[in-house]
Chains A and B, each alone.
Chain A
Amino acid sequence: MKISAVPYVALKALRRNTMRTLLTALGIIIGVGAVITMVGLGQGAGAEVEEQVNRLGQNVILVFPGERQLGGVSIGGGSANTLTVGDAIALREEIPEVVAASPEVRSQRVLVYGNRNWATPVYGQSHDYLQIRDWPIEDGRMFTEEEVGRAALVTVIGQTVVQELFEGSDPIGETVRVRGLPLEVIGVLAPKGMSLMGSVQDDLAIVPYTTGFQRISGRSHAMVINVQVYNEESMDIARAKITDLLRERHRLAPNQDNDFTIQTQEEVAQVATETSRVMTWLLASIASIALFVGGIGIMNVMLVSVTERTREVGLRLAVGAKGPDVLLQFLIEAVILCLLGGLGGILVGVVATEVIASYAGWPALFSIEAMVVAVGVSAAVGVFFGFYPAWKASRLDPIIALRRE
């Protein structure tokens, strides 16, 4: 048979029943559309997660107090009082790769301004904390090292606090009270949005850690030390040096476990991206069920079509079509149906992803690979589900086929 006649004959046959062709392709359109949308959304969510991780700051290492063993019984991670302000200062001054280190203390406190009050976490941090977090000041200034040194009564507040206490009026220079302690607002942080865990990061007040430890939380040990390393290449060496330095400072014998835990931003990111990757796969698997159902729809319609077109097949066989010619024709019809559906599905998928992503506030990401795979899969679906009906058609006896009414 003439090679270029194969798609020609298949297209003619599909055009003879436009409505049915469209409805059949719809199954594949929905299937491929769902796959593209789910993968697109999943990847968008993944990118969003990555961006949030980056918002933690660049080249950040977090040092947590380790599990404290009490007579062989762990009393919970992060609960130990093993990290001191001195540790943080030592990290910054003795390790050249460390450019900033901030001992953090956090306590939930009520901020009072005039007749308004607002409960918010108050963080004690060092003057270079915002540099670690890569967090710009929107208005005013951050406190200085000198202010940290003298435990100045100043605070930098987040956007949520500005809205709740000041209702949009300028808070710089105003005084808020925490447990009767007057704190002068010297700066307002730029909005940061949601954290990885979904909490609002803008709901906070930052004070010098000296003030935080002594006057506000009443604690003596850091809940975490935020460390920033010079560059990405230095992360591993910095990590080793931090471990050595802290073990030395904590006077740990070689056989003793660390009494602190070091986590890099990368590790946090890994967990988060792994989660979003699993979600993407889950969504894509569900969507591929739709594609599968669409494929069965194709098989169904092709089977009906073979029965309906028995006389046509009989005629083709009578005028010299060979079994393989008929097989190929029906197979190509199924593949063309699926490819049409695949292209339509890409269109639908792209639009759906854009719409959903714009509602969810994620970036919409499309990979060419996903589309190529989707079209490839739909062609494969065509071959797979089109083969049985096509084979049935090619096996028809022309005599019986021609007599069929």
Chain B
Amino acid sequence: MDVLELKGIERTYRTGTVEVKALRGVDLTVAEAEFLAIMGPSGSGKSTLMNILGCLDSPTAGQYLLNGRDVATLKRGQLAQIRNETLGFVFQAFHLLPRTTASENVELPLLYRDERLSWKQIRDRAREALEVVGLGDRLHHTPTELSGGQKQRVAIARALVTKPRVLLADEPTGNLDTRTSLEIIELIQRLNDEGLTILMVTHEPEIARFAERVVILRDGLLRSDRRRTPLRAADHLADWSEESEDAMDEALGDRMNTEITPPVEVGP
């Protein structure tokens, strides 16, 4: 079943008299439980696409069906509800509230739920989500007391706490070192295995290698859409102790270079 369906999505920005076409007709269908990586150079429209997928922005033209519903017909309040219930967001910069414990950060989306939850239910669900990401022992730590990887785990727990159907991750490993990146990817893969649909924007080919499907965006158009058997982050972590970080980088990089064929033009 398709969770997301984009048909001829265009997005034009106007600044004064200048028109910038960030997206020029993107067609994309994402099935349930897929792990999709969106790649592309800066300015290719990745972020615009991500904003539209996340219901934070609406397309100038085209149709976006989320769970079969046409997003264009929804009002602001309904979009907010969809962001809350159907989508989970993970950002490069984590965006955790400062001086606020991990548990309270994770509770946040539940506070904006339409559904009535008791405080105890909210606490319990935040704890469960943090246990899923392996931070069951860090409930009351504030962001300054957490490492980068732990912060991103809290952010993932915050995205998971509403039990969304789709996880939108915008450069989730952008601020992390290789080892921590692998741990985050391992977590994302694990969630994907459990049936969560993942859309991840990244500009690092070695990270995209862990997705089962990679699309490449260039100048507002999808230029490549490839599926392959993904690498397993868990395997790499298991080998970690035997290899130095640099060696790992090289090994990953080499594999990327040999395995990724130059993107095939799919036509404008």
Interface-side segment among A1-9, A57-65, A182-190, A287-295:
A1-9
Do B112 and A16 have beta carbons less than 8 Å apart? no
Q: Which of B116-160 contact A (CB under 8 A)?
A: 116-117, 119, 122, 158
Interface centre among B83, B85, B112, B113 (most CB of A within 10 A): B112
Assess A2 versus B108: contact at CB under 8 Å? Given A319-B84, A320-B80: no
Q: Which residues of B contact A315 (CB under 8 A)?
A: 95, 97, 108
* Complex Cα–Cα for A8 and B119 (A): 11
* Complex Cα–Cα for A399 and B48 (A): 9
Query: Is A321 at the interface (CB under 8 A from chain B)?
Result: yes
B residues 98-116 touching A (CB-CB < 8 Å):
98-100, 104, 108-113, 116
Q: Do B112 and A322 have beta carbons less than 8 Å apart?
A: yes
Q: In the assembled complex, how far is the CB of residue A301 from the closest CB belonging to chain B, in whole angstroms? A: 17
Min CB distance B18 to A, Å, is: 18
Q: Do residues A16 and B98 form an inter-chain contact, with CB atoms below 8 A?
A: yes
CB contact under 8 A between A12 and B104, given known A311-B95, A315-B95 = yes
A320–B89 alpha-carbon span in the complex (Å): 10
Check B76 against A319 for contact (C-beta < 8 Å).
no
- B77 contacts which of A16, A318, A322, A399 (Cβ < 8 Å)? A322
Given that A312-B97, A402-B91 are contacting pairs, would A319 and B117 also be in contact in the complex, using a CB cutoff of 8 Å?
no
Check if B95 sits within 8 Å of A1, measured CB to CB. no
Report A300-315 CB contacts with B as 1/0, cut-off 8 Å: 0000000000011011
- For the complex, what is the distance from the CA of A342 to the CA of B89, rounded to whole Å? 40
B84 touches A320 (CB 8 A): yes
Interface-located stretch among B50-58, B172-180, B199-207: B50-58
- Total contacts A-B at CB 8 Å: 67
A321 to B98, CA, bound (A): 18
- Enumerate chain B residues within 8 angstroms of A320, measured Cβ to Cβ: 80-81, 83-85, 109, 112-113, 162
- CB distance B119 to A321 under 8 Å? no
Asked if A325 is at the interface (CB within 8 A of a chain B CB), the reply is: yes
For residue B110, which residues in chain A have a CB less than 8 angstroms away from its CB? Answer: 2
Complex: how many Å from CA A325 to CA B81?
12
- Could you tell me the distance in whole angstroms from the C-beta of A146 to the nearest C-beta in chain B? 88
Contact residue among A2, A16, A318 (Cβ-Cβ distance under 8 Å from B83): A318
Shortest Cβ distance from residue A21 to the other chain B in the assembled complex, whole angstroms: 12
Q: Interface digits, A373-405 against B, CB 8 Å rule (1 contact, 0 not)?
A: 000000000000000000000000011001000
The chain B residue sitting closest to A3, CB to CB, is B116
| Cβ contacts under 8 Å, A5 to chain B | 111
For chain A, the count of residues having a C-beta within 8 Å of the partner chain is: 25
Interface residues of A in 9-64 (CB under 8 A from B): 9, 12, 15-16
> Chain A contacts of B116 at CB under 8 A?
2
- Contact across chains for B80 and A321 when beta carbons are under 8 A apart: yes
Q: Count chain B CB atoms within 10 A of each CB in A314, A318, A321 and give the residue with the most.
A: A318
User: Is A363 part of the binding interface, using a Cβ–Cβ cutoff of 8 Å?
Assistant: no
Chain B nearest CB, measured from A227 CB (Å): 74
In the assembly, what is the distance between CA of A4 and CA of B77, in Å? 20
B57 touches A399 (CB 8 A): yes
User: Judging by beta carbons under 8 Å apart, are A12 and B89 in contact?
Assistant: no
| Cross-chain contact B95 with A2 (CB below 8 angstroms) | no
**A399 touching B84, Cβ below 8 Å:** no
A402 adjacent to B104 (CB under 8 Å): no
Known: A318-B56, A319-B84. A2 touches B76 (CB 8 A): no
A191 within 8 Å of B (CB atoms):
no
- Please state if A316 and B112 are interface contacts (CB–CB under 8 Å): yes
Q: Is the CB of A325 within 8 A of B112?
A: yes
Q: A399-B51, A402-B91 are in contact. Are A323 and B76 (CB under 8 A)?
A: yes
| A77-108 interface with B by 8 A CB criterion | none
A317 at interface (Cβ–Cβ under 8 A)?
yes
CB-CB under 8 A for A16 and B99, given A317-B80, A323-B76: yes
Q: Is the CB of B56 within 8 A of A1?
A: no
The 8 A CB mask of A234-245 against B (1 = contact, 0 = none) is: 000000000000
| Given A12-B104, A316-B108, A399-B57, A2 contacting B113 (CB threshold 8 A) | yes
Chain B residue contacts of A321, Cβ below 8 A: 80, 112
Residue of A nearest to B81 (CB): A320
Min C-beta distance of B183 to chain A, whole Å: 23
Closest A residue to B86 using CB positions: A320
Chain A 315-335 interface 0/1 with B at a Cβ cutoff of 8 Å (1 = within): 111111111010000000000
* A–B complex contacts, Cβ < 8 Å, 7 sampled: A1-B113, A2-B116, A15-B99, A315-B97, A319-B84, A320-B85, A322-B112
Q: What 3 pairs across the A-B complex have the smallest Cβ distances? A: A320-B84, A5-B111, A319-B109
